[in-house]
Amino acid sequence: MTTRPTPPRRPRRRTDVLSLVLGMMAIIYGGAFLWTRMIHPFDRDLISVAAPASLVVIGVIGLLAGGNRS
């Protein structure tokens, strides 16, 4: 009985976490800029809560994307 050699596995494409985090930050801050300019006037209380919250959410997304590497 002859065994057939298994083909080499294709390397999994790695997620560039830095690009993911920077891209998400750009989208969120761009959306916030448009929101404050067109829909709702500038409010310091809103920004003081939304900015740290968005950074936490982006950090969690980055950790989840970077933690799936084997």
Mean pLDDT of residues grouped by 10 in the chain (70 residues)? Answer: 73 71 80 76 74 78 67
In eight-state DSSP terms, residue 67 is T
pLDDT for 69 equals 54
What pLDDT sits at residue 15? 64
Query: Taking the model in full, what pTM does it have?
Result: 0.44
Q: Residue 68: what pLDDT?
A: 58
pLDDT of residue 34: 79
Predicted confidence at residue 67, as pLDDT, reads 67
Burial zone of 66 (CB within 10 Å; 0-12 exposed, 13-18 middle, 19+ buried): middle
